[in-house]
Structure 1
Amino acid sequence: MLFKKILITCMLCLLTAGTVDSADIQPIKIGGLFAESGKVAFVGTASRLVAEMTLKEINDNGGILGRPVKMVVYDTESDPNVALRMARELVEKDDVLAIIGPTSTGSGMAIKKYTEEQGIPTIMTVGGDPVIAGGKFGPYTWTFKVPQRSSVAVRKIYQYLQSKGVSSVALLTATDGFGQDGLRHLKSLAGEYGMTVTAEETMDPQAMDFSAQAFKLSMAQPQAVIIWTIGPAGAVATKNFSNLPGEKPLLVQCHGQPGPKFLELAGQAAEGVVMPGTKIMAPGYLADDDPQKPVILKFIDDYTAQGYDKEFPLNTHSGYAFDAITLLKAGLEKAGTPERAALRDSLEQLQGVVGVSGVFSLTPEDHNGLGTDSMMVLEVKDGAYRPAE
């Protein structure tokens, strides 16, 4: 009888202990900054959905370090000032461990000085280089980003043009931060690949006609014209060039453009246009031994199963939030503790982390970790993307 009482007591203690431990598990709290309204909401809203989808799967499989992950999300409204205000909320009110986002280069630069000073690991989903460029752009000790650097995309373009015997290019670049970042690299890297820049024009990414710029650039008779912007402006410019009389230069879009929307807006004018993009844009062409192939195919299955593709068709931006959280998870597991400094140190040592956008290998000098081999040059043919020949 005594043994039975002792056994029952021990079982109750074990059950009680299990309940207490479970109740005491605090979630790892992270922040999410996504442009869910304003001019880049088409990227930001989809990124938030992908981030939530990715975290749900992680939590369904035991979380990270045995703890669930909770994301506190704010809409940056596509406004750098709002992005900074929301970053302060995440740090000073919500006490997050790390931040995923924001969506645009301008917002990334707006928050960077603050997050660096506060020591917050921030994995951005922005296209431009300045957030991790150092020098006049400020330190990036705590700042990381998942989309390929603009400089990497420029190198991919120039490598392709060089292989096609192209040696003269004209540039049409947006007046925003992303466009000017692209212009900087397009000019500085041209000589390395034997390219001569014959003419330059700028474009307001919110405008709806660039016929004048197209005419001026075509008069310089370049072999190719590189258009550096995201959103509808790229398709508008493509149509403007298509409407010019006579022989036309090869049109090249930037790495932020590949997606169904460009094909829809540019229509027949898109035929023959080339652009660098992530492998998600042509998964059917990936080799079976490509380490990204299973990751990309599963991501596409999960994305479409959620029905996100109906409102936000898959495009080159679609996997950025997935990649950011994948790096966060790998960094925390390597650190072994949900502590900011330990996470930061681990992030810049990650090697061979397979994501949708590439295989990430970071260093203290390179807080992106992707090279030109993470991209493919795409060509529009018969209204679809395929690897350029």
Structure 2
Amino acid sequence: MKSRSLWVAAALLMGVAGVWAQPAKPVRIGFICPFTGGSADFGNSARLGAELAVKEINEVGGYLGRPIELVARDDKATPDEGRRISEELVLKEKVDFTIGFCNTGVALKSLDLFQDNKHLLMVPVATGSAVTAKYPPDKSYIFRMSPRDTLQAGFLVDEIVKRGYSRVAIFADNTGYGEGGYKDVERFLAEKNLKPVYVARFDIGVKDLTAQVEAAKAARADVIVGYTVGPELAVLATARAEAQFTGPLYGPWPLSFRTVAERAGAAAEGAMMVQSIIADTSNERRMSFIARLKRHAGSQPIGSLMAAAQTYDAVHLMLRVLFQTKGNTTGDALKQALENLERPYAGVVTTHEKPFSASDHDAFSRNMIWLGVWRRGEVQFYYPEDAKRSAFIRRKSAT
């Protein structure tokens, strides 16, 4: 009887030890971006940023001993594929929350899935204004870590007018991203009593826009604003050179993609774009991140520093939120924590003190963006004084 009791006790102890020996349940993050196709340059950059953040977090113990697991899916920059894998991650994989979307049109196709299931979606890259405007912020589970197009378009129009240009040609693709950007630019021009003198619309994959640029010249345009993604902006830059259009080329952040410099070559020189981050040797935290990112990427190209950095910050910010919710990953708990962040997050793009509120789910305000320019194959600060000020933190403003 005594030996049997000892055996039972030993078995119980072994069972308890077995429970303690089991690996901790991971925090599973859904991740959606294009890893193949025409948008792969910034999709893979975002993936590299997310992977680096997860790697660093896990190296120091994850979330209270729970490893972070990135459940990554390729949306191929296709809205229907984006919807399919969103359903897979939310309904089948039941990930704790999702970080994703590089393309505005792909994101818009799936927003209702996240909203209806009260599943937290953090958008690190897509900038279309409609992404965070579809639902009222106080009810929405959609947050964003990139500067929305409303900010970018207003910023570009102000720059154009400040430099004395008034005859604007707009080149925009036919996607949701191009449509939204075109409307934003048109609206900000109207606020300054200006109208575009020429508008060109085109499909993704266009190979030549020379005839359209020549038409813009005939309309006496003195500046071009391109609203599309990297490969198509390279086509536009090349067409501008072929048509000998001497006015400047402006664009939103995709004009900074490595694709533009690789495909347009010297034709990209001088093109200006909106940036949230520019490589800066005076900023130790930023340069350290870039060095770590390059080591992690190895031979893989980094097509967009912005996409990588914003996604890296998104992952680390969500870890901060997990500590605030004490591991509660329900949509309501994560939403409440994001809207009421208790401690600032010192990111590589900027320091986010109060990035969100119940009335605002966009982390960027207009004072937090820069004007970049292609010079000798690199994106640099257009204004030398911006380079000097870049080490100073630009906190979110009320406007």
Q: Same fold (TM over 0.5)?
A: yes
Call closer, same or farther: CA 1:376–1:41 in 2, change over 3 Å.
same
Q: Which runs of 5+ in 1 are unaligned?
A: 1-12
1:249 corresponds in structure 2 to 247
2:5 corresponds in structure 1 to none
Call closer, same or farther: CA 1:231–1:107 in 2, change over 3 Å.
same
Structure 1 counterpart of 2:154, one-letter code: R
Q: Identity of paired residues, percent?
A: 23
Q: Would you say 1:57 and 2:51 are equivalent positions?
A: no
Call closer, same or farther: CA 1:337–1:242 in 2, change over 3 Å.
same
- Matches of 1:194 and 1:330 in 2, distance apart? 45
Per-residue CA deviations over 1:88-133 (Å, capped at 9, x if unaligned) read: 1112222211011123112211111011000100112312121101
Structure 1 counterpart of 2:126, one-letter code: V
Call closer, same or farther: CA 1:314–1:133 in 2, change over 3 Å.
closer
Decide whether the 8 Å contact of 1:256 with 1:317 is kept in 2.
no
- Matches of 1:243 and 1:336 in 2, distance apart? 58
Q: Equivalences for 1:159-178 in 2 at 5 Å?
A: 159-178=158-177
Per-residue CA deviations over 1:265-291 (Å, capped at 9, x if unaligned) read: 112222222111232x3323xxx5xxx
Structure 1 counterpart of 2:134, one-letter code: G
Q: Which runs of 5+ in 2 are unaligned?
A: 1-12, 384-399
- Matches of 1:105 and 1:342 in 2, distance apart? 26
The TM-score normalised by the length of structure 2 is 0.84
Structure 2 counterpart of 1:382, one-letter code: R
Q: Which residue of the other structure, out of 326, 345, 348, is the alignment partner of 2:339? A: 348
For 1:339, what is the secondary structure of its paired residue?
Answer: coil
- Matches of 2:165 and 2:249 in 1, distance apart? 12
2:7 corresponds in structure 1 to none
How far off its partner does 1:55 sit?
Answer: 0.6
Indicate the structure whose relative CO is greater, using CA pairs within 8 Å and at least 6 residues apart. Answer: 2
Q: Would you say 1:299 and 2:289 are equivalent positions?
A: yes
Structure 2 counterpart of 1:283, one-letter code: D
Structure 2 counterpart of 1:259, one-letter code: F
1:225 corresponds in structure 2 to 224
- Matches of 1:302 and 1:114 in 2, distance apart? 35
Call closer, same or farther: CA 1:194–1:282 in 2, change over 3 Å.
farther
How far off its partner does 1:352 sit?
Answer: 4.4
Per-residue CA deviations over 1:190-236 (Å, capped at 9, x if unaligned) read: 23356442221112221100112111212222331101111211111
- Matches of 2:68 and 2:367 in 1, distance apart? 32
Deviates more, 1:121-130 or 1:348-357: 348-357
2:366 corresponds in structure 1 to 372
Decide whether the 8 Å contact of 1:256 with 1:316 is kept in 2.
no
- Matches of 2:116 and 2:361 in 1, distance apart? 17
- Matches of 1:271 and 1:234 in 2, distance apart? 13
How far off its partner does 1:68 sit?
Answer: 1.9
1:126 corresponds in structure 2 to 126
1:191 corresponds in structure 2 to 190
Call closer, same or farther: CA 1:308–1:110 in 2, change over 3 Å.
farther
Structure 2 counterpart of 1:266, one-letter code: A
Decide whether the 8 Å contact of 1:166 with 1:195 is kept in 2.
no
Q: Which residue of the other structure, out of 381, 387, 394, is the alignment partner of 1:387? A: 381
Call closer, same or farther: CA 1:181–1:358 in 2, change over 3 Å.
farther
Structure 1 counterpart of 2:249, one-letter code: L
How far off its partner does 1:182 sit?
Answer: 0.5
Per-residue CA deviations over 1:337-360 (Å, capped at 9, x if unaligned) read: 322121111112337433344444
- Matches of 1:264 and 1:41 in 2, distance apart? 14
How far off its partner does 1:69 sit?
Answer: 1.5
How far off its partner does 1:19 sit?
Answer: 7.5
How far off its partner does 1:322 sit?
Answer: 0.8
- Matches of 2:378 and 2:59 in 1, distance apart? 36
1:68 corresponds in structure 2 to 67
Call closer, same or farther: CA 1:193–1:328 in 2, change over 3 Å.
farther
- Matches of 2:261 and 2:94 in 1, distance apart? 42
1:272 corresponds in structure 2 to 270
Decide whether the 8 Å contact of 1:357 with 1:374 is kept in 2.
no
How far off its partner does 1:26 sit?
Answer: 1.6
For 1:256, what is the secondary structure of its paired residue?
Answer: helix
Q: Which residue of the other structure, out of 279, 282, 289, is the alignment partner of 2:279? A: 282
Q: Would you say 1:108 and 2:99 are equivalent positions?
A: no
Decide whether the 8 Å contact of 2:120 with 2:141 is kept in 1.
yes
- Matches of 1:335 and 1:43 in 2, distance apart? 31
Decide whether the 8 Å contact of 2:50 with 2:311 is kept in 1.
yes
For 1:119, what is the secondary structure of its paired residue?
Answer: coil
Number of matched pairs: 367
Q: Which runs of 4+ in 1 moved over 6 A?
A: 15-19, 137-140
For 2:170, what is the secondary structure of its paired residue?
Answer: strand
